[in-house]
Structure 1
């Protein structure tokens, strides 16, 4: 229970990458963290890219960055919708600016790009958003996990074990 007492924020919306939400969600709970999965509406059911449903535990609009120790963002196509919500960008930016961990996998990098926190960072993601990351000032590398200061990134569901190990290791330093 390495993360006992820590609060983690995750975002959810339709077409999230099922494994990239569920694997970290349960893995961080297993380590003792309290994980809040906020969607556009509290208690709404969102469908993953592969059809798995997930009920949000809170509304994005009701969250405050200061209530969380870190942010973990799942990929899929939900991040493209979520990054249009000013509150999602505000939470991401405030958690980042407080020096707390912002972890993103696959297409989730779209949210930190839109929050304007990628400039000068080395990261990874699906090659599909490589150009977006580089245009935002990041250096993209093809590695299973990259830790650069308070950002952790991974490419795809196959990288989830390394992604979660890095989150737990960094969150418990």
Structure 2
């Protein structure tokens, strides 16, 4: 991985259930390997249930409910996929607002697989070049994004990938964008 996060915190926003486990755990490890401090944010205190596709996987402890989280405390945001995870996130007003605040603050956001559904709800994809799980391409285009079928796409701090097979490239680019923000405080999403 390129870049260091030097003890900076990175928010991982997930719904109470439905996050694709590998899309949570591999980026989480990448942040830790870059000396960052990942924090799990969800609707409320307690645990979240991750999934391996449609099967229940591990349970993870929430660090902070989204209602108590401040964008100012994080260098960036990671949105794991899974079909149910972003579908639930996009129905939670506090979560959608939290996502939108990262864009207003010009901080990096990384979204993989189905996670861009939450970005659509936050109305932040218009004019962005991005990718996702292929079934979201029409939704993203209808929301104004320039959807492409690439392993990883970076557009001014927004990092997107298609599926778990893309995780190595996704994690590498995610850490680069987060580290650039941490080290230089440069604006993303301009």
Global fold match (TM > 0.5): yes
Q: Distance in 1 between matches of 2:48 and 2:72?
A: 26
Kept in 1, the 8 Å contact 2:49–2:56? The answer is: no
Alpha-carbon shift at residue 7 of structure 1 (Å): 1.2
The counterpart of 1:112, out of the listed 114, 119, 124, is 119
Kept in 1, the 8 Å contact 2:30–2:175? The answer is: no
Kept in 1, the 8 Å contact 2:79–2:111? The answer is: yes
- The reply on whether 1:145 has 2:140 as its aligned counterpart is no
Residue aligning to 1:15:
18
Q: Give the superposed CA RMSD.
A: 1.3
Kept in 2, the 8 Å contact 1:48–1:54? The answer is: no
Alpha-carbon shift at residue 67 of structure 1 (Å): 1.2
The counterpart of 2:64, out of the listed 34, 58, 64, is 58
The counterpart of 1:72, out of the listed 68, 75, 78, is 78
Gaps of 5+ in 1: none
User: What SS class does the counterpart of residue 172 from structure 1 fall into?
Assistant: helix
Q: Distance in 2 between matches of 1:39 and 1:9?
A: 10
Gaps of 5+ in 2: 181-190
TM-score, normalised by the number of residues in structure 1: 0.95
Alpha-carbon shift at residue 47 of structure 1 (Å): 3.4
> 4+ runs of 1 displaced by more than 6 Å?
none
Task: Name the count of aligned residue pairs.
Answer: 173
